Structure 1
Amino acid sequence: MNQQLAASVSRTVQSRLVLPPDTNHLGTIFGGTVLAYIDEIAAIAAMKHSKGAVVTASIDTVNFLSSAKVGNVLILEGVVISTGRTSMEVYVKAECQSIETGAKTLTTTAILTLVAVDGNGKPTPVAGVSPETDAEKQLFKSAQARKDRRMKINEFAKELV
């Protein structure tokens, strides 16, 4: 598939209110809850790009930079930043916003790899992606290095078995 899609085709934004059941004994959101939100928005962005079903192949990096507290709004944004034949890398950032002040703080960043699948669950080709913003262009340029690192980690994991 030689078609290229603009990164903005996949861009997805969600807002979530942080509620007491989402938090730990310190009143901050559980990391696992944030991971579930990240996986969901990455899947939606990848589905918009591939125009079909996807599965998560890996979560390469997750950086928890700060916490969201009860009453904050968590704003998640996901965008496809690079593609392989059937795979898509998705960058997700999460910010928390104070309702009282409107101030936003970056809380989490992540890069995930998702694979487009057909009705039988078999990988299916995806269009390429054209980065638009400076950040997308930077992430696009470093995609091969991340892929090489994933491959090394996969080989190492196989040796451990």
Structure 2
Amino acid sequence: MVFPGDANHHGTLFAGNGLNRMARAAFLAARGAAQREVVMASVTRVDFLAPVGVGQQLLLRAWVSRVGRSSLTVCVTGLAQAPGTPTEEVLKGVFEMVAVDAHGRPAPIANAYLKPETT
């Protein structure tokens, strides 16, 4: 839900708050896939496709699209809906995440469900 404290002076989701929510979704998807701690390395692209007004529900979906030796690419989309209206895609972005060890150094990803790239 977008609350007034999340909004800009136009009454829509402040872009910084939208990016923060997307980054958290990317983190959760990457950590779940890597089965270890991850950090963000970069944001490849973020598109704000439509404004999200106060009172609208915002649903974020994040999925891992690539797994490397220690890095993952995570795609995030945001869908908004006001009561009684159709769902609309309003946000999308691509995040590069890196699996790390206890010292914060890149660590290999070993997950039986994901086959890391060899290149």
Deviations 1:7-29 (A, max 9, x none): xxxxxxxxxx1000100111100
8 Å contact 1:47–1:53 — kept in the other structure? yes
Match of 2:38 among 44, 54, 64: 54
Residue 97 (str. 1) matches residue 81 (str. 2): yes
- Per-residue deviation, 1:97: 1.0
1:60-79 alignment, distance < 5 Å:
60-79=44-63
CA distance in 2, matches of 1:84, 1:108: 25
TM-score (norm 2): 0.91
Match of 1:43 among 27, 30, 47: 27
- Per-residue deviation, 1:127: 4.1
Opposite residue 88 of structure 1, the aligned amino acid is L
Q: Choose between structure 1 and 2: higher helix proportion.
A: 1
CA distance in 1, matches of 2:8, 2:92: 20
Aligned CA RMSD, in angstroms, stands at: 1.5
Report how many residues are paired: 114
1:7-156 alignment, distance < 5 Å:
17-99=1-83, 101-127=84-110, 129=114
Deviations 1:55-100 (A, max 9, x none): 000000001100110100010000000011100000000011112x
Gaps of 5+ in 1: 1-16, 131-143, 145-161
8 Å contact 1:83–1:127 — kept in the other structure? no
TM-score (norm 1): 0.68
Gaps of 5+ in 2: none
Aligned to 1:136: none
Opposite residue 17 of structure 2, the aligned amino acid is T
Opposite residue 95 of structure 2, the aligned amino acid is L
Which consecutive aligned stretches of 4+ in structure 1 deviate over 6 angstroms post-superposition? none
- Per-residue deviation, 1:122: 1.0
CA distance in 2, matches of 1:79, 1:127: 18
Opposite residue 58 of structure 1, the aligned amino acid is S
Q: Percent identity?
A: 34
SS at match of 2:93: strand
SS at match of 2:23: helix
Deviations 1:21-57 (A, max 9, x none): 1001111000000000010000000000011110000
